[in-house]
Chains A and B, each alone.
Chain A
Amino acid sequence: MAATRSSGSAVRGALAAACGLLGVGGARAQATEVQTAVLGYSEPGRVTAFEGIVDASHTLLNGKTLTGHLVFDTLTGASANGAVPTGGIQTFTSPSGESNYQTEAGKTPLDSTFKDTRAALNLGLSTPFDRLTAWGAGVYFSGEHDYTSLGANTSLTRDFNRKNTTLALRASYYGDSISPVGGRPIPFAAMVAPDIAQPRQNGNGTKNTLDLTFGLTQALSRRTIFAVNFTHSRVRGYQTDPYKVLSLVDDVTGSPLDYLYESRPDARNKDMVFATLARHIGGDDVHLSYRYFTDDWGVASHTADFRYRWHAGSDWYLQPHVRYTRQTRADFYRRFLVSGEPLPETASADYRLADMKGWTAGLQYGRRLASGHDLTLRAEYFRQTNSGAGTTTFGDLAGYDLFPAVDAIILQVGYSLDLGVDGRSG
């Protein structure tokens, strides 16, 4: 091997490069991670949604971590407006009050004028106080053409028991402003034809949410970790869906006389317990989680989730996923209102507030690429069913499916880059 001439400060650069190749270069422990994903959601014949998400976190040399979370989504297609199917063609006024849409006999009325685009941004900073304690704070913004949400959160975490136990306290506050297309309907006002002025409430709706979470994470053994969160959520303000109606049906024939705009209570208190157990079994990672939810609207639910990450190769895994949920209906849920009966204070025919069961089954594939980046692909099937418990049908109503199942397909591609511990190469 021949010696080559070198001079000037090139020697130092070449030496630094050689040290880098030897694996002893002057590396910095700064880390930047970027995760991205695109998700498609489709309910055949109904809603289609696309969502793009970018998640970035950067850890500075002093231990501070900056996080950014950006989401875009679009939603198009038809969603149930709350009315019941009937034997004839039904005509509804679109939310803007400017046009009509029709539903064929026997079909669940769907509002096909629905289209929405949303952008949301979450920024956070976490700072270590000392070796055991960290403080975090963040701000949140989400905007749609008819909905704006502004929020802030703060959290405190502390390690105990040789860092085998971590306790976290988190508080979030959101202030939302709702300005529906066409304005906010008067509760239980009847839907009028496009050429007549629909009576409306003045001004935007506002809603505020306070979430308080207490979390505990406990390493149980070298292979097992357990976490539990208790959350109390207090929501005040306008929680009615301004685009949803209830059919007011004849008390004998069951055929619709009117469509009345829904109305929900303006206070809701929710409590949740969420527990996760992760265990490393025979080289694979198993996650089992359970959530109990209850609120003073009368909704209570049990949700269980199971993921098995099978590390099939040194650089890839397959992860089957199953989720099951069961919820009870809200006290004010009515599939329809009956003429002649006194109007309740609040009522909604939103199927999401009904008794329901939901099943999700999916498979995720993850691969570590030669570049060191991670690729994930995910496909899931989701089905919601409703027994119709608590609803007595009569007349025409008995001939139709008032509680159709909803099916959805979810497809996702994810890509994450770990921009490494070496902010500067040797």
Chain B
Amino acid sequence: MNHLQKTRTAAAWMALILVGLTAALTLPGCAGVGVKPWERDILAAPGMQVDPDPLVTALDEHIYFSKEASTGGLGTGGGGCGCN
């Protein structure tokens, strides 16, 4: 499989996931997913954030950016540097 096909396959998967998520969000039946505003005690804890250690993530991203060919995508706003 060449890279063009690979890219197309990935794009197709992404599109599928996006469509699924959009459907899930707009379907009224799914509005019940989640928690009540006052049930956020656990999710509000520092250790339960999507990224509990943004600093560690930033430092690791910089390391792997300079050691690997695939970088980014974590949603952290990294910037360009000359280490790759």
Determine whether the beta carbon of A116 is less than 8 Å from that of B3. no
Cα separation A197 to B2 with both chains bound (whole Å): 41
Q: Which residue of B lies closest to A178 (CB)?
A: B82
Q: Known interface pairs A222-B43, A301-B69. Does A215 touch B75 (Cβ–Cβ under 8 Å)?
A: yes
- Is there a chain B Cβ closer than 8 Å to A204's Cβ? no
Which of the candidate stretches A95-103, A141-149, A252-260, A393-401 sits at the interface with the other chain?
A141-149
Cα separation A146 to B49 with both chains bound (whole Å): 37
Main DSSP-derived SS at the B contact region: loop
Q: Known interface pairs A55-B54, A144-B81, A209-B80. Does A229 touch B74 (Cβ–Cβ under 8 Å)?
A: yes
- Is there a chain B Cβ closer than 8 Å to A165's Cβ? yes
Determine whether the beta carbon of B73 is less than 8 Å from that of A51. no
By size class, the interface of chain B is 35 or more
Q: Known interface pairs A296-B7, A327-B70. Does A309 touch B59 (Cβ–Cβ under 8 Å)?
A: no
Which of the candidate stretches A2-10, A83-91, A155-163 sits at the interface with the other chain?
A155-163
- Is there a chain B Cβ closer than 8 Å to A410's Cβ? yes
- Is there a chain B Cβ closer than 8 Å to A93's Cβ? no
Determine whether the beta carbon of A53 is less than 8 Å from that of B55. yes
Determine whether the beta carbon of A222 is less than 8 Å from that of B42. yes
Cα separation A382 to B47 with both chains bound (whole Å): 24
Q: Known interface pairs A164-B33, A298-B3. Does A51 touch B59 (Cβ–Cβ under 8 Å)?
A: yes
Determine whether the beta carbon of B10 is less than 8 Å from that of A292. yes
Determine whether the beta carbon of A364 is less than 8 Å from that of B56. yes
- B28, chain A: closest CB distance, angstroms: 10
Determine whether the beta carbon of A311 is less than 8 Å from that of B82. no
Q: Which residues of A contact B39 (CB under 8 A)?
A: 222
- B9, chain A: closest CB distance, angstroms: 8
Q: Which of B1-26 contact A (CB under 8 A)?
A: 2-4, 6-7, 10-11, 13-14, 17-18, 21, 25
Q: Known interface pairs A53-B55, A162-B34, A207-B80. Does A311 touch B7 (Cβ–Cβ under 8 Å)?
A: no
Q: Which residues of B contact A59 (CB under 8 A)?
A: none
By size class, the interface of chain A is 35 or more
Determine whether the beta carbon of B80 is less than 8 Å from that of A219. no
Cα separation A146 to B36 with both chains bound (whole Å): 53
Interface string of A132-143 (1 = CB under 8 A from B): 000000101010
Cα separation A309 to B67 with both chains bound (whole Å): 26
Cα separation A232 to B16 with both chains bound (whole Å): 16
Determine whether the beta carbon of A118 is less than 8 Å from that of B48. no
Determine whether the beta carbon of A122 is less than 8 Å from that of B73. no
Determine whether the beta carbon of B55 is less than 8 Å from that of A37. yes
Determine whether the beta carbon of A293 is less than 8 Å from that of B59. no
Q: Known interface pairs A142-B79, A149-B79, A163-B37. Does A273 touch B17 (Cβ–Cβ under 8 Å)?
A: yes
Q: Which of A9-61 contact B (CB under 8 A)?
A: 35, 37, 39, 41, 51, 53, 55
- Is there a chain B Cβ closer than 8 Å to A200's Cβ? no
Q: Which residue of B lies closest to A164 (CB)?
A: B34
- Is there a chain B Cβ closer than 8 Å to A151's Cβ? yes
Q: Which residues of A contact B83 (CB under 8 A)?
A: 75, 116, 118
Determine whether the beta carbon of A327 is less than 8 Å from that of B73. no
Cα separation A309 to B42 with both chains bound (whole Å): 14
Determine whether the beta carbon of A278 is less than 8 Å from that of B68. no
Q: Which residues of B contact A116 (CB under 8 A)?
A: 82-83
Q: Which of B41-84 contact A (CB under 8 A)?
A: 41-43, 45, 47-56, 58-59, 62-64, 67-75, 77, 79-84
Q: Which residues of A contact B11 (CB under 8 A)?
A: 271
Which of the candidate stretches A169-177, A183-191, A338-346 sits at the interface with the other chain?
A169-177
**Chain A positions near chain B (C-beta within 8 angstroms):** 35, 37, 39, 41, 51, 53, 55, 69, 71, 73, 75, 116, 118, 120, 122, 124, 138, 140, 142, 144, 146-147, 149, 151, 153, 160-165, 168, 170, 172, 174, 176, 178, 207, 209, 211, 213-223, 225, 227-231, 233, 241, 269-274, 276, 278, 280, 285, 287, 291-301, 303, 309, 311, 317, 325, 327, 330-331, 352-353, 356, 358, 364, 376, 378, 382, 384, 406, 408, 410, 412, 414, 416
28 A–B contacts, CB within 8 A, in A order: A51-B59, A140-B77, A147-B81, A151-B80, A161-B30, A162-B34, A162-B36, A164-B34, A176-B80, A223-B42, A227-B75, A229-B75, A231-B73, A270-B72, A276-B50, A278-B52, A285-B45, A285-B48, A293-B71, A296-B4, A300-B10, A303-B70, A330-B69, A331-B3, A352-B67, A352-B84, A364-B56, A382-B63
Beyond the given A272-B72, A296-B4, A358-B68, could you list 20 further A-B residue pairs with CB under 8 A, ordered by the A residue number?
Answer: A51-B59, A147-B82, A151-B80, A161-B25, A168-B75, A220-B33, A230-B18, A231-B72, A273-B10, A274-B73, A291-B70, A291-B74, A294-B7, A295-B3, A298-B3, A309-B47, A325-B68, A327-B70, A352-B84, A364-B53
